[in-house]
Amino acid sequence: MARTSRWLLLAILLVGCDKETDPIQPVDRNFPPEIVNLTYRPERVLADQEVQLICGARDRDADPLGYRWSSTAGEFRGGFQLPIVRWLSPPGEAPSTLLVRVTDQRDTVRAEIEIVPARVLPPDSLGFVNGANLVDLRWQHSADRDVSNWEGYDVFAASRSIASLPADSVGAYRLNGSSFDREQYRVIGVEPGQRTFYHVRSRREYGDVVELSVAGPEIQTAARLDGFGSASLFEIGARPGRGEMGVRIRDGAVLPLDPSSVSEFDVYLGTADPEDREGDLRLKSVSLLAYRSTRWSGRITGIRPLGNDWGIAVAPEDGYAQQAPLEVGTVYAIRTAEGHFAKMRVNELRGSPPERRVEFQWAWQPEPGYPRF
């Protein structure tokens, strides 16, 4: 009996040794994709503009990746299942959320960005030059002048500042008929001395939408009166009938000096000598004729050389004297006794002492105390 048990145990052990042990199966692990960046171009997006969306993704398992884009507004062009897609931003300035899903067919990850369309940028650095019944405006171009749906510029004018008005409230103040793409505009038929505020806005159009920028820099000015001297102005020491002349700057008239009509005169052509004997030529206030009659003493005109640019449009408010050396080509700011601002340029000098004479150009601002000419 004991012998039989031993043989049975041995048989069981032999059967167990003969059986092959099953190996442990490895876990089938998947690494999900990883989105490493999500960008778009251009960096500054306008409304109704095509945008390139770019998703950078990778997968540790080197699995092929699938992409699927969606947005809360706008539309995709040419598909929405690639890592780089084209998206058309919607009209208006409301934000849009762009979502991308990336999958390796087992796991899906997602990322999103928000894009807020910007309004087209206005032009910059508005400047002006006044003329007779006109104002010439010039500016630096808008940084957006080459964007899609670009129409150009609109010019606005009012008797008060309107730069802070929203774009949908300025239509009544628009000067131009159609938008234009140059960086200048001439305003004609302006009443001299009528103070006006000007600004320029950029314009885009798409569908039924007109998009105006905010106002660019706003300036204020007033058209002037201008022209050339009605006669040559002789130096005061010239022969009778020539040298006893002065200028009424409001119309450039050269008139015989008359102390009984002091208010008709602003400047005359004298010399560096206090009593206008021989000397270098000077443009002088008629107040300096007080050595001839005390009636002139209260008629003080301010004179200040400005250089050679006739296009200067803003008068300095200080630095004036009652006389200045006379030089051909120089532009002189004039401030009259009534407070009007004017300018005068010596275009030509002829003759010899004591009968030197000049041809001159003038401009006068009708609104007193307003430093624009």
Render pLDDT for 126-171 as a digit per residue (tens, 0 to 9).
999 999 999 999 999 999 999 999 999 999 999 999 999 999 999 9
Let me know if residue 156 belongs to a domain.
yes
Strand order from edge to edge, sheet including 134-140: 124-131, 134-140, 184-188
| Peptide bond just before 122 cis, omega within 30 deg | no
Same domain, 216 and 234: no
Q: What per-residue confidence (pLDDT) applies to 14?
A: 39
Let me know if residue 29 belongs to a domain.
no
Better pLDDT: 239 or 152: 152
| Pair 53, 40: CB distance under 8 Å | yes
Let me know if residue 5 belongs to a domain.
no
Q: Does position 26 have pLDDT exceeding 90, yes or no?
A: no
Q: What per-residue confidence (pLDDT) applies to 17?
A: 45
Q: Does position 314 have pLDDT exceeding 60, yes or no?
A: yes
Q: What per-residue confidence (pLDDT) applies to 21?
A: 52
Confidence band, pLDDT 50/70/90 cuts, at residue 6: very low
% of the chain at pLDDT higher than 90: 90
Domain stop point among 63, 86, 115: 115
Q: What's 134's domain CATH number?
A: 2.60.40.2060
Distance set, CA 139 to CA 201, 208, 367 (Å) = 11, 28, 25
Domain span at 266: 225-364
Let me know if residue 78 belongs to a domain.
yes
Same domain, 183 and 295: no
Domain stop point among 221, 238, 257: 221
| CA separation for the pair 338, 289 (Å, rounded) | 18
Q: What per-residue confidence (pLDDT) applies to 56?
A: 98
Domain stop point among 67, 98, 115: 115
| CA separation for the pair 324, 343 (Å, rounded) | 13
